[in-house]
Structure 1
């Protein structure tokens, strides 16, 4: 089995942490990276409270660094995982009560806790990603900092 550290590194790289100076800190700052390892361990435990706690630790670490926007990678880490829906289909035909049926497909069988984590992460990602990404890419400009 591959090292959890290598797994976390690869996952963060796949989310583009190296694309920005601030994003790169997710890998190069030892304490922040270990917070992401703790997040992966929480995901593997399938315990929602533990996952939330790990994300809060990442958010707090980013705040203490003065770079709150790096926390977007924690939301991405969860949002773009097997626990998040691969496809969502809306049935055009209205049901008798006037609602719309939504069908969700996952990459693999997921537990209710995994779905909860995926939906929670998607909500936070949708809420903050635009502003956090603006701040991340601003960190690459020569006048930043």
Structure 2
């Protein structure tokens, strides 16, 4: 990951669409919120699930204090689309003994902790993402 962590985090947030609405822009224009996302990236890089949870909690508290709690969706997306996310999941295949076989490919070798972080982000995004993004996009001028 060449370059500054700040530029990396900003680009990743923009790739998730934070620049499309006034509320979304808060994640990169509010210095404290942005630095919370930098903290999240640092936790993701060291693959520390406890640190990731702590960073997400901090982001949640910070955006809630701004009256923009729905912005937590960008933290969920940030985790969901981290390196621990599979590049491709092949269809489930029933095995001869009645079990199910699933082949998952990753972009690089990932640790169980990296997979846990990405899976937790995916779970939260699938559970709350659609409704939270609806609130983010309702903030369009």
For Structure 1 versus Structure 2, the TM-score category normalised by the shorter chain is over 0.9
TM-superposition CA deviations, 1:96-116 (whole Å, max 9, x none) = 454432221111111111011
Regions of 4+ moved over 3 Å: 96-99
CA RMSD of aligned residues (A): 1.3
**SS state of the match for residue 42, structure 1?**
helix
In the aligned structure 2, how far is the partner of 1:138 from the partner of 1:32?
A: 20
Q: Distance between the aligned counterparts of 2:118 and 2:9, measured in 1?
A: 17
User: Is the counterpart of residue 2 in structure 1 residue 3 in structure 2?
Assistant: yes
Corresponding residue number in structure 2 for 1:107: 107
Match of 2:85, SS state, is: coil
In structure 2, C-alpha distance between the alignment counterparts of 1:10 and 1:28, rounded to whole Å: 13
Q: Mind listing any 5+ residue stretches in structure 2 that lack a counterpart?
A: none
Q: How does 1:1-145 map to 2 (within 5 A)?
A: 1-92=2-93, 94-140=94-140, 142=141
Count of residue correspondences: 140
Measure the CA separation in 2 of the matches of 1:39 and 1:75.
11
Q: Which runs of 5+ in 1 are unaligned?
A: none
**Superposition deviation, residue 9 in structure 1:** 0.7
How far apart in 2 are the matches of 1:6 and 1:78?
Answer: 17
Distance 1:97 1:61 in 2: 51
Q: What do residues 88-139 of structure 1 show as CA deviations (whole Å, max 9, x unaligned)?
A: 11234x2345443222111111111101101111100101111011101111
Cα deviations by residue, 1:12-43 (Å, 9 ceiling, x for unpaired) = 11111001110000000010000000001111
**Displacement of 1:7 after TM fit?**
0.9
TM-score (norm 1): 0.91
> Secondary structure of 2:103's partner?
strand
Whether the 8 Å contact between 1:90 and 1:100 is mirrored in structure 2 is no
Q: Distance in 1 between matches of 2:99 and 2:22?
A: 46
